[in-house]
Structure 1
Amino acid sequence: MNNTLFPIFLKTESARFLIVGGGNVGLEKTETLLRQNPFVAIKIIAKEIGHDLRQLLHKNPHVEWEERPFESHDLTDADFIIIATENAALNREIKQKANKEGILVNAADQPDLCDFYLGSIVNKGSLKIAISTNGKSPVLARRLREHLEEAIPDNINDSIENLNQFRAKHKGDIQTKISSLNKATAVLSDHAKTKKEGKKFKKLAFEIAVVFLAVFFGYSLSSLISVPTLTGYINEIPPAFYGMLLVGFFAQLVDGAVGLGYGVTCATAMMLFGIKLPAISGSIHTAEMFSSGISGFSHYKFGNVNKRLLFWLAIPGVIGAVFGALLLIYLGNKYETITYAVLATYTMIIGIRLIAIAFRKKIEKQKIKNTGILGFFGGLFDAFGGGGWGPIVTSTLLAKGRKSSYVIGTVSLAEFFVTLAASITFFASLGVSNWYIVLGLIIGGSMAAPLAARLAGKLQQKTAVLLVAFLVIVFSIRMLFKVF
C-alpha cells in the first residue's frame, strides 16, 4: 500500500502549536494556521524573525514569539510542533526530543521527519477540503486547491446550512436520518437523468425541424424563383461577402472557445481586407448586437447582473459609444491613412492587454472607483476601434478582485446597450450600404458557433488568450507596415 495516511480534521480551539523558525517557511506555516483559526494558540521560537513575519505578528498580538535559539523546555506546553529551519541536524534533534515527549512533528520539506502533513486546504464556509500528495508534490496539491476554489461556488455554504436544518428537524437514529435525507436528495439525480433525456429529445426535435424547414423553403423558393434567376442574384453578391464569412467564422471560433476577442479579431482581419473604417466598426457592432443581447438576457435571467454596476457602465458606455462612432466617421472619411494607423496601434495595445490578462494572478478584492469613466472610455474605444469593450472593462473589474460571474454577466448586458448605440449612430450616418458585410459576419459566426462551443474548455484559458493576443498583434503590425 503506497499511501497509508489517515486524514483527520483537528479542532484548533484547544490545540497549541510551536513553530521553530522565523523565515519564509515559518511565515507560510503561521499564515496557514491563522487562516483556519484566527485565534489559534501559536508560539514561535527563532534566532531571527523575518520582516514579513514580524509584520504578521504585529497584526496578531495573541501569537507569542521569542527571538532566541530553540531550547528543550520549549516543548513543555506544545501539542504539535512545526519545524521551519534550514538546519537539518537541529531539525532531527527537535524531532527526537518531541517524539520522546509524545508530541507529533511536521518538518517543512523533510517528509522523513514528519508525523503529519499540512496539506493544501480549500475553505468554503462550513465546507473544508484538505489535499495531500503524501509529501511528494506540494505544488500539485496547491494547483488542485486553486482549481477546487474556482470550481466550487461561494454559495455552497447555503446548501450546507439548508441540509443541516433539514437534518435537525428529523428525529430518530442516524440510519433514519440518512434514509430521510436520501429520499429528499433523490430528486437531484432524477432531475439530472430527466434533463439528459430532455436534451436528447430537444436535439432530435431540432434536427427534424431543420430538415423540414430546409425542404419546405427549398421547395417554396424553387416554385417562386427559377434557377437562372437565383444564379444571377448570387453572382451579384459582392466578393467581400465571402471574405466576411471567413472573418465571422474565425472571430466567433475565437470568441466561443476563449470567451473574448470577437470585436478586436474582426477589426484587425477586416482592416487587412481594406474595408472602410466606419464600415468595420458599424458592421461589427450590428453583428455583435444580437449575440450580446442574448448573452446579456441569459445572465440577467440567472441572476448574474449587478443592477447598480450595470447603471454606471451602460449609460456612460452608450455616451462613449456615440462619441467614438462619430469620431471614427469623421476621421475615417477625412484622414483615412492616419486613422488606419491609429486603429492598428489600438488593436496592438489590446493584444498586449490580453497578454497581461493571461498572466494575471489572483487579486484580492479592491474598491472600484470611477466606474462611469471606465464605462465611457470602454464604449468610446469599443466604437472607435471596432472592439475592446471586454478586454478593457471586464479585465479592469476582474483586476479589482470582483466575482467573475457578476462581472461577466453585468458587462455582457451593458455591452448590448453600447453596441446598440454604436449601431444606430453608424446606420444614421452611413445607411445600410454595407449589408453584405453584416450578413457575412452573422452567417459566418452562426456556422462557427457549434464548433466553438465544442472547443470551449479544450484549451487552457491562458494558452487560448495568449494565442488570440499573438494573432491580434501580428495582424496589427502587418497593418502598420501596410500603411507606412
Structure 2
Amino acid sequence: MAGPSSAAAVRLTKRTTPRTLALMGLVALVVIAAAALPLLAYGLDAGSVHAVTEGLTSRGFWTAVAVGLAAQTVDGALGMAYGITSTTFLLSTGVPPAAASVHVAEIFTTAFSGLSHWRLGNVDGALFRRLLIPGVIGAVAGATLLTSVDGEVIKPFVSVYLLVMGLTILSKAFRTLKTRREPPRAVVPLALGGGFVDAIGGGGWGPVVTTTLVGAGQDPRTSIGSVNAAEFFVALASGLSLTLLGGLTHWTTIAGLVVGGLFAAPIAALLVRVIPARVLMVVVGLLIASLSLVNLAGLFG
C-alpha cells in the first residue's frame, strides 16, 4: 500500500511536467533579459556592446552553457551536485577556485529549485530555519578564506575535496537507508560546515548536508526540499562575498551557466522518469572523481 511519501511522489510527477518546467525557464530568461535592458540602454557604448556580443559568441560562453546544462540536469535529477559538477568542469578549463562564477549562477538555479520544493510542500519549516543562519555564516567564512589565499595554492586542495565528494556520491548509490521520525541532531554545525566547504570548494552544500541528514535516517523528501530551499541563501551569501572581496570576473562563464541551467529543467524531469536515481549517482560520482583525478594529475604532472 502506498504511503504519504508515495503520494507526494505522484503529486510531484503530475505537477512538475516538462512543459511546466520549460515555461518556468522561459519566464526566468525573459525576466533576466528585461532586467538587463536598462544596463544595455544606458550603461554601454558601442565598444562595450561589441565586447558583449563577442563574449556571447565565444567558445568559453558556449562551454559554460554546456556545463550549466549538464550540472543543472544532474542537480534536478538528484537534488544535489550542481556546484560540484560545475566547479569540477570549470577547474579543468582554467577558471580559478576563487571566481564567483558558479556561486552567482547558482543563485538563479537555487531560487527556482527552492521555490519549486516549497510549492510542492517538500520544505520542513523548522529544519529550514535551523539550516539557514549557520549555512550563511559558513558560506561567508569560506568565501573570506578563499579570497585571502592564492588560487594556484588552493587548487590542489579543492580538487582533492571534489574527489572526496565524487566518491561520497558514488558510495551513496550503494547504500540502503532507513527513514526514522526523530528530529535531526547537530544541524547547526552540519550547516556551518556545509556552507564553509561549499564556498571553498565551489559546491558541496547538497552532498554534505543532504547526504548526512538522509544517511542519519531523516525523511529524504523533506530533507532534500529543506536543504534546497536553504541553498539559495547559502549561494547568495557565497556569491556576494566572493564578488565584494574578489570582484566579479568571468561574466561570460556566469551567463553561460545561467542560460544552460535554465533550459536543463525539462531534461532533468525526463531523466528522473527514465533513469533510476541510483544509476545517475554512479555516473555522476564516477565523472566527478575522474575529472578531479585528471585535474590533480595536471597540477602535479
Q: Which residue of 1 aligns with 2:78?
A: 258
1:414 aligns with 2:230: yes
Q: Which residue of 1 aligns with 2:169?
A: 354
Counterpart AA for 2:103: H
Could you tell me how far apart the structure 2 residues matched to 1:233 and 1:312 are? Answer: 42
Question: What are structure 1's unaligned runs of at least 5 residues?
Answer: 1-121, 125-148, 155-194, 218-223
How far the C-alpha of 1:328 sits from its partner, in A, is: 1.1
1:299 aligns with 2:117: yes
Q: Which residue of 2 aligns with 1:276?
A: 96
Contact 2:109 2:261 in 1 (8 A): no
SS in 2 for 1:351: helix
Contact 1:258 1:465 in 2 (8 A): yes
How far the C-alpha of 1:283 sits from its partner, in A, is: 1.4
How far the C-alpha of 1:233 sits from its partner, in A, is: 5.0
Contact 1:351 1:468 in 2 (8 A): yes
**Larger displacement relative to structure 2 (389-398 or 282-291):** 282-291
Contact 1:257 1:457 in 2 (8 A): no
Q: Which residue of 2 aligns with 1:467?
A: 283
Could you tell me how far apart the structure 1 residues matched to 2:251 and 2:288 are? Answer: 25
1:426 aligns with 2:242: yes
Pairing of 1:86-165 with structure 2 (within 5 A): 122=1, 151-152=6-7
Deviations 1:20-57 (A, max 9, x none): xxxxxxxxxxxxxxxxxxxxxxxxxxxxxxxxxxxxxx
**Larger displacement relative to structure 2 (423-432 or 464-473):** 423-432
1:437 aligns with 2:253: yes
Could you tell me how far apart the structure 2 residues matched to 1:236 and 1:314 are? Answer: 36
1:325 aligns with 2:180: no
Counterpart AA for 2:153: I
Aligned residue pairs total 275
TM-score normalised by length of structure 1: 0.52
Higher relative contact order (CA 8 A, sep 6+): 2
Contact 1:363 1:401 in 2 (8 A): yes
Counterpart AA for 1:412: N
Could you tell me how far apart the structure 2 residues matched to 1:319 and 1:230 are? Answer: 38
TM-score normalised by length of structure 2: 0.81
Contact 1:337 1:483 in 2 (8 A): no
Could you tell me how far apart the structure 2 residues matched to 1:287 and 1:123 are? Answer: 38
Deviations 1:251-294 (A, max 9, x none): 12222333322111101100000112211xx2111111122122
CA RMSD after TM alignment: 3.2
User: How many percent of aligned residue pairs carry the same amino acid?
Assistant: 34
How far the C-alpha of 1:441 sits from its partner, in A, is: 0.5
1:289 to 97, 107, 110: 107
Q: Name the structure where helix makes up a greater proportion of residues.
A: 2
Pairing of 1:19-58 with structure 2 (within 5 A): none
Contact 1:289 1:420 in 2 (8 A): yes
Contact 1:367 1:400 in 2 (8 A): no
Deviations 1:103-140 (A, max 9, x none): xxxxxxxxxxxxxxxxxxx585xxxxxxxxxxxxxxxx
Contact 2:114 2:230 in 1 (8 A): yes
Could you tell me how far apart the structure 2 residues matched to 1:364 and 1:246 are? Answer: 36
Could you tell me how far apart the structure 2 residues matched to 1:230 and 1:426 are? Answer: 26
Q: Which residue of 1 aligns with 2:66?
A: 246
How far the C-alpha of 1:364 sits from its partner, in A, is: 4.5
